[in-house]
Homo-oligomer: A and B are copies of this chain.
Amino acid sequence: MNEIAPLRRVTIIDIAKAAGVSPSTVSLVLQKNERISAETRNRVEEAIRKLGYKYNRSAANLRRQTSQAIGLIINDICNPFFAEMTAGVQKGLEGTEFLVFLVETGDEIERQSRVYQSLEEHGIGGLIIFPASQTKPEFLERIAAGGTPICVAIRRPPDADVDYVGPDNRLAGRIATRHLIELGHRRIAFLGGEAKSPSRIDRVAGYQEALQRAGNAFDPALCVESRPTRANAISDLNKVLDLPEPPTAAIGYNDNVAIALMHGLRRRGLEPGRQFAIVGIDGTSEAELAYPALTTVALHAHETGRRAAELVLERIKAPGKTHENVILRPNLIVRASCGTR
């Protein structure tokens, strides 16, 4: 109640004095070392409570040459996929003493090195990174070589030897396509995403694969690339709808694109889910709010974050262990955007 704010921070030494022991003993108590008798432990804990002691983790970190902070580098927190992944990271860290330093790159590589530098200065015990677009594998490997436990997420560096967790994009493409084929569609477009983006390459590969398996020819005219913005999605859609033989269904590169496609359809007087089928890829909760509710392939953003956190934690414990490669299996969430049958 009426505690007086101490002028000087209360330290382990104050506790030691109050409890009549040495600072070393207090430290051992804090670490729950069992070498200390129950009696002394109680005395120390009593003093801790009484003096309102607060553990100074940065002093400990300095001494131990570690840090109980995890750096989390992502593209953009406003993107629901990354927001969910971030929540997953927090979940994976729950119950530990780790806290996350969140930084955004805006997918700019120079900004990425700046923020990484800043993380290093602040001191991090581990790093989870969604690498910005043109990130060189060496950048990631140098971090790992420098001794920082690192886990790369979502964007697989071509062959950097680091822990990784991400989705099976090819399978995601296949699942989306197969679903549409099973619904009876023959002309299926794949819209949005940049041609050079590895995840798009994989998704498109899966799309082609599913087409092929169904004995369905791949038509390059139905596969159009663009930066995944709303406006681009709509113009991509118009492109394929103006074809002599237009598609009856489309896969959006991601949920955002897919939702924009539904808007674009309506502008052309086509009702999504009735006259045209749309499926997205991502599976963030925004897909559920769309109208019609978006059928999508879930990439498990939350789980990705959770696993990434676990991998980093494991590597902090055992820096020498062999690198893990966690590929999350996507799965289809059927809602209303391909019709209800």
Residues of A within 8 A of B (CB): 5, 9, 54-59, 61-62, 65, 67-69, 72, 76-78, 80, 83-84, 86-87, 90, 97, 99-104, 118-123, 145-147, 230, 256, 259-260, 262-263, 266, 285-286, 289-291, 293
List 10 tightest A-B contacts by C-beta distance, closest first: A102-B102, A291-B291, A58-B58, A57-B121, A58-B123, A55-B121, A83-B83, A78-B83, A99-B101, A57-B122
A265 → B minimal CB distance (Å):
10
Q: A9 to B289, alpha carbons, bound, how many Å?
A: 50
**Is B87 within 8 A of A76, CB to CB?**
yes
A263 → B minimal CB distance (Å):
7
Q: Which of B54, B80, B103, B256 contacts A78 (CB 8 A)?
A: B80
Q: Which of B77, B262, B286 contacts A87 (CB 8 A)?
A: B77
A75 → B minimal CB distance (Å):
11
In the complex, chain B residues whose CB is within 8 Å of the CB of A62: 56, 58-59, 62
Q: A121 to B145, alpha carbons, bound, how many Å?
A: 29
Q: Which of chain B's residues has its CB closest to A293's CB?
A: B263
In the complex, chain B residues whose CB is within 8 Å of the CB of A5: 145-147
**Is A83 within 8 A of B77, CB to CB?**
yes
Q: A145 to B4, alpha carbons, bound, how many Å?
A: 10
Q: A286 to B290, alpha carbons, bound, how many Å?
A: 9
Q: A90 to B106, alpha carbons, bound, how many Å?
A: 12
A192 → B minimal CB distance (Å):
15
Q: List 6 A-B contacts (CB under 8 A).
A: A59-B62, A78-B80, A78-B84, A83-B83, A99-B119, A291-B291
Q: A76 to B88, alpha carbons, bound, how many Å?
A: 11
**Is A285 within 8 A of B99, CB to CB?**
no
Q: A199 to B73, alpha carbons, bound, how many Å?
A: 33
A252 → B minimal CB distance (Å):
12
A339 → B minimal CB distance (Å):
15
In the complex, chain B residues whose CB is within 8 Å of the CB of A286: 286, 289
In the complex, chain B residues whose CB is within 8 Å of the CB of A120: 54
A214 → B minimal CB distance (Å):
31
Q: A90 to B77, alpha carbons, bound, how many Å?
A: 10
A305 → B minimal CB distance (Å):
10
In the complex, chain B residues whose CB is within 8 Å of the CB of A57: 121-123
In the complex, chain B residues whose CB is within 8 Å of the CB of A291: 262-263, 266, 290-291
In the complex, chain B residues whose CB is within 8 Å of the CB of A118: 97, 99
- Given A58-B67, A263-B291, A291-B290, check contact A101 B103 (CB 8 Å): no
